Structure 1
Amino acid sequence: MNASTQAAHATPAAVEDNPPLLQTRHPSAEWLASGQEPALEPGRRIIDPHHHFSHHWGGYGLDDLLRDTGAGHKVEGTVYVQCGWQYRDSGDERLKPVGETEAVVKLAEAAKARGAQTDVAAGIVGYADLLLGDAVEDVLNAQIDASKGRFRGVRFAASRHESFQHGVLARPPLGLYADKAFHAGMRRLAKLGLTFDAWVYHTQLQDVIDLARAVPETTIVLDHIGGLLGVGPYAGRKKAAFDEWLPLLAPLAACPNIVMKIGGYGTTVFGYDFVNQSKPPSSSTLADAWRPTVNAVIDAFGANRCMFESNFPVDRASASYATVWSAFKRLAANASESEKADLFYNTAARTYRIGDAAR
């Protein structure tokens, strides 16, 4: 770590004990509607591999998702990713997260009963405490049973920075991904054919590299391009953050069990301020803002190990669902047809065993 990087991370111990909480601003429906534009390439097949249902972030339910997936793009299926929603409020503490899966399955079945064109939550990434080690297998089997064939993996976020707090989940412990019990839990995922979603900040990417090397048999999906920070010590210092993040892409990509999700730019920690503007940005504006990082990720991993994600409803802070997907299509404009198929559909289908890849 060079001197400038050390300075960026050098904060008093008291800040780590009680760092300030970053608040997420939720745009109004009127703000989102004011930036509507026609969907680009409306016939391109899409699997959206990352969205939530929640009472957080202004609320997001089945009607909201179906309104978004029906707004002009051909979203054939989605992957629901855990956010601590609808946990059981009684019973075995280890099994409380199964309530989230049960609630999502009910919405998925409701969507199908309504004749929705999108296979809602075709895959579910839930939660299980991997620090249980080998004993987590019982929880994983309970999740699989509750999912009615939809459970695909676990997310256990390690995102933590000494200068701020962010998110709706509990603050993770330090050194989470290095814990030997955690590694044992990861191996149980592989045994059951399940994946692992990692959510960290770019200052923690070495932890993901080490985890991938420790459990090479487990597929790791790195969320939100690895959490490139634009807040805290990186506020107003996007180049400094980029210069720290970029060299880590090669060792990440050298781990064959890591695939990358491209999106999450509306998350507060990225530091974009589109939500504070009088009107939402166009898809061209979003594409221009995101292009350096998107190009870097695809260059490092290849399209066959990358997938675009909506991260809705969090990324409503960028623009509407349709505009975000049009921005991704602009970013992929120079890719080959096979590369586009990977970025928008095939990588997600292979990783989460959805659609054509499930057959």
Structure 2
Amino acid sequence: MDPHHHLWPDSPTSFAAVPGERNANATPYSVQDLRADTGSGHNVVATVFVECSTNYYTEGPQHLRPVGETDWVASQSVSDGLLSGIVGYANLMGEPSEIAETLDAHTGAGNGIFKGVRHTVAWDANPGVFTSIRRPPSGLLLDSIFRRGASELARRGLVYETWTYFHQLPELCDFARSHPSLVVVLNHLGGPAATGPYAQQRNEVLEEWRAGIKSLARVPNVVMKLGGIGMPAFTPVEFIESTPMTSTRVADYWGLQIRYCIETLSPERCMFESNFPVDRRLCDYATLWNAFKLIAAPYSIAERESLFAGTARRTYGIGR
């Protein structure tokens, strides 16, 4: 199962998260492209789409416009069940009534497969550090208004999804403890940064990151996605652009860190993600999953079942 991918249409007018801006990663990626990738050599039978600021409604109240993305993605789903989940966007800093209305609208538009909301919080004080298109402010996870918004997800049994940088992991722990009934899905290995000043501080970054992962292990409602490794935010550009890129090279570069997450959090709280088409910059889909299989080779059959399918199915409530 692939619990994290995006879809982008051909039209640049479909990108509406920030007026006048388009996500630099947003190269067209259709359901047909997804099918070609998932059918390229691995037995991927279900996927989860994660919000990427596309196909928002262009009319109506601002807080409801992100529902257009869920509406569009649900229309791409067909009876074979490959596209089995949708994680959309809602502004958790909004008024409670608006958040509730947005979540209910997402659920209605999702045709039974809407699973939750991603509101990213990745922030760093250094301007040279890669950030998401929404450029979130610092301290969102500790903000009482944001936490109030997240409680609307918990009331509906929806997941909260995000990505952070490594130094924000203590904030994520505090946030997750404040919402013990909310499943918190952390994307992209918890953000071991590799841009700006961190490009020359890999050992220091990983030391602080490992301490953060240890803290996460004590917060049982947090699960982690193992991926995002094709993003220059986490993998140096010189490695990404070196050739040839083989599954062995990818596994050698990231194996220790990914296995640290698995062994610290447990396979039951970790799931591999493709993050396609963003991670396509590193390698093709088949090569990426071959790398994950090499990394997971030391684990038992039951543990690998969790890493490649079970954790994702439990997290998103997707049946076999």
TM-score w.r.t. the length of structure 2 is 0.91
* Mapping 1:256-295, distance limit 5 Å: 256-273=220-237, 274-277=239-242, 279-295=243-259
Asked whether the 8 Å contact 1:197–1:222 carries over to 2, the reply is yes
Q: Which runs of 5+ in 2 are unaligned?
A: 10-24
Identify the match of residue 2 of structure 2 among 48, 62, 77: 48
Aligned-residue RMSD, C-alpha: 1.4
Q: Give the counterpart letter for 1:145 in structure 2.
A: G
Structure 1 residue 319 corresponds to structure 2 residue 283: yes
Asked whether the 8 Å contact 1:235–1:271 carries over to 2, the reply is no
- Structure 1 residue 227 displacement after superposition: 0.7
Q: Give the counterpart letter for 1:73 in structure 2.
A: H
State how far apart, in whole Å, the 1-side matches of 2:217 and 2:184 are: 11
1:86-109 Cα distance to aligned partner (Å, 9 max, x none): 111111101000000011011113
* Mapping 1:203-218, distance limit 5 Å: 203-218=167-182
Q: Give the counterpart letter for 2:193 in structure 1.
A: L
Identify the match of residue 124 of structure 1 among 73, 80, 86: 86
- Structure 1 residue 133 displacement after superposition: 5.1
TM-score w.r.t. the length of structure 1 is 0.81
Q: Give the counterpart letter for 2:155 in structure 1.
A: K
- Where 2:44 maps in the other structure, the secondary structure is strand
Q: Give the counterpart letter for 1:174 in structure 2.
A: S
- Structure 1 residue 204 displacement after superposition: 1.3
Instruction: Tell me the residue number matched to 1:67.
Output: 36
Instruction: Tell me the residue number matched to 1:25.
Output: none
Identify the match of residue 103 of structure 1 among 44, 65, 72: 72
* Mapping 1:1-359, distance limit 5 Å: 47-54=1-8, 56-109=25-78, 112=79, 119-132=81-94, 134-135=96-97, 136-163=99-126, 164=128, 166=130, 169-273=133-237, 274-277=239-242, 279-356=243-320
Asked whether the 8 Å contact 2:160–2:182 carries over to 1, the reply is yes
- Where 1:296 maps in the other structure, the secondary structure is helix
**Which protein, 1 or 2, shows the higher relative CO under an 8 Å CA cutoff with sep ≥ 6?**
1
1:25-50 Cα distance to aligned partner (Å, 9 max, x none): xxxxxxxxxxxxxxxxxxxxxx1000
- Where 1:206 maps in the other structure, the secondary structure is helix
Q: Give the counterpart letter for 1:286 in structure 2.
A: V
Name the CA shift for 1:341/1:217 in 2 (closer, same or farther; >3 Å). same
Answer with 1 or 2: which has the greater Rg: 1
- Structure 1 residue 165 displacement after superposition: 5.4
- Structure 1 residue 276 displacement after superposition: 1.8
* Count of aligned residue pairs for this structure pair: 302
State how far apart, in whole Å, the 2-side matches of 1:210 and 1:168 are: 22
State how far apart, in whole Å, the 2-side matches of 1:223 and 1:272 are: 18
Instruction: Tell me the residue number matched to 1:29.
Output: none
Tell me the percent identity: 41
Asked whether the 8 Å contact 2:70–2:110 carries over to 1, the reply is yes
1:241-285 Cα distance to aligned partner (Å, 9 max, x none): 1111011111111001100110001111113333322x3411111
Asked whether the 8 Å contact 1:101–1:147 carries over to 2, the reply is yes
Asked whether the 8 Å contact 1:187–1:217 carries over to 2, the reply is no
- Where 1:161 maps in the other structure, the secondary structure is coil
State how far apart, in whole Å, the 2-side matches of 1:126 and 1:209 are: 22
- Structure 1 residue 168 displacement after superposition: 5.5
Q: Which runs of 5+ in 1 are unaligned?
A: 1-46
Name the CA shift for 1:333/1:243 in 2 (closer, same or farther; >3 Å). same
- Where 2:93 maps in the other structure, the secondary structure is helix
- Where 1:154 maps in the other structure, the secondary structure is strand
Q: Give the counterpart letter for 1:203 in structure 2.
A: H
Q: Give the counterpart letter for 2:57 in structure 1.
A: R
Asked whether the 8 Å contact 1:50–1:309 carries over to 2, the reply is yes
- Where 2:107 maps in the other structure, the secondary structure is helix
- Where 1:102 maps in the other structure, the secondary structure is helix
1:120-159 Cα distance to aligned partner (Å, 9 max, x none): 3311000111112532111100000000001000000011
State how far apart, in whole Å, the 2-side matches of 1:282 and 1:272 are: 16
Q: Give the counterpart letter for 1:346 in structure 2.
A: G
State how far apart, in whole Å, the 1-side matches of 2:198 and 2:137 are: 22
State how far apart, in whole Å, the 2-side matches of 1:86 and 1:175 are: 29
- Structure 1 residue 81 displacement after superposition: 0.3
Asked whether the 8 Å contact 2:167–2:212 carries over to 1, the reply is no
State how far apart, in whole Å, the 2-side matches of 1:331 and 1:342 are: 14
